[in-house]
Amino acid sequence: MFDLRHKVAVVTGAGSGIGAAIAALFARQGARTVVVDVDDAAAERTVAVICEAGGDATFRRCDVSTAAEVERVFGTIAGEMGPIDILVNNAGIAHIGTIEDTTPDDFDRLYRVNVRGVYLCSRAAVPAMLQRGGGVILNMASIASLVGVPERFAYSMTKGAVLTMTMSVALDYVKRGIRCNCICPARVHTPFVDGYLHAHYPGREAEMQKVLADYQPIGRMCTPEEVAYLALYLCSDEAAFVTGQAYPIDGGVLVA
């Protein structure tokens, strides 16, 4: 089950956190995995981990918010590896603040990466998927696209857009072999979280970790690996009947 052999999988933002976990798991399942990121060092670490475990991974540097760069990188991937079977739009940036705390520059920066990036990468992948008779697009949304989250104004805006783009792509291509879904995690314990707490709450990291953990009724944050297992299902042939769906992985937030 969940065999990805002979499939080309592109994972954006795969230098760390959720993206790195997805890339590593897909490679373990046999995919030829392309790690896409703007952080060369982080992406190379992901590739090294995958290759040391016997997997197949390469790195392509790409700013997903830049149209010409996305077209070039995706064209190179298709030329060297063949049509993309799986695209995971995971690259994204965070922001904390209300509408009063969000500057126009903040708003535009989040839109460029979190929304425009998903659009550009999906637009680059779809023609090749159609050429080969189908494919899978998986977008990383957020619990913030389903419910209100305090002080996440701009971030929630972008993830709401990802949710509706997912539904639109799924509907437009359901008869042409392309499935599109999104995952909506609650808080996930990634290196970004640790770095943020260290920078903004020095000496109070443990206290704030508990605050973040307690947001989920289950009593802890999600792990990147748990998100990766859901991603594996949605990108595998076992999920062939699933499209246009938003999958919460939230530790009980929506039912509390």
The CA distance from 61 to 67, in Å, is 14
3-state secondary structure of 222: strand
Same domain for 182 and 192, yes or no, is: no
79 and 136: one domain?
Answer: yes
**Domain co-membership, 148 together with 201:** no
Helical residues (DSSP H) of the chain, grouped into ranges: 17-28, 40-52, 67-81, 104-110, 117-132, 153-173, 191-200, 205-214, 224-235
* Domain shared by 180 and 83, yes or no: yes
Do 201 and 182 share a domain, yes or no? no
Residue 105 pLDDT exceeds 90: yes
**What DSSP line would sit under 137-155, residue for residue?**
EEEE--GGGTS--TTBHHH
Q: Cα dihedral angle (72, 17, 33, 110), rounded to 10 degrees?
A: -20
In angstroms, the CA 204 to CA 86 distance is 41
Residue 199: give the domain boundaries. 188-221
Report residue 195's pLDDT band, with 50, 70 and 90 as the boundaries: confident
Is the separation of the CB atoms in 130 and 178 below 8 Å?
yes
pLDDT tens digits for range 25-58:
999 999 999 999 999 999 999 999 999 999 999 9
What residue type is assigned to position 213 of the chain?
A
> What value does the mean pLDDT take over residues 94-104?
95
Judge whether 64 lies within some domain.
Answer: yes
**196 is an active site residue:** no
> Is the residue at 85 inside a domain?
yes
Cross-strand partners of 32: 8, 56
216 and 129 housed in the same domain: no
Report d(CA 44, CA 86) in Å as an integer: 21
Does residue 18 form part of some domain? yes
Q: Is 122 found in the same domain as 106?
A: yes
Count of domains observed in the chain? 2
Whether residue 18 sits in one domain with residue 105: yes
The active-site residue, picked from 155, 173, 215, 247, is 155
Q: What pLDDT shows up at residue 205?
A: 92
The one-letter amino acid code at 90 reads N
Helices 17-28 & 40-52 angle (0-180, nearest 10): 30
Q: Residue 199 above 90 pLDDT?
A: no
Beta bridge partners of 134: none
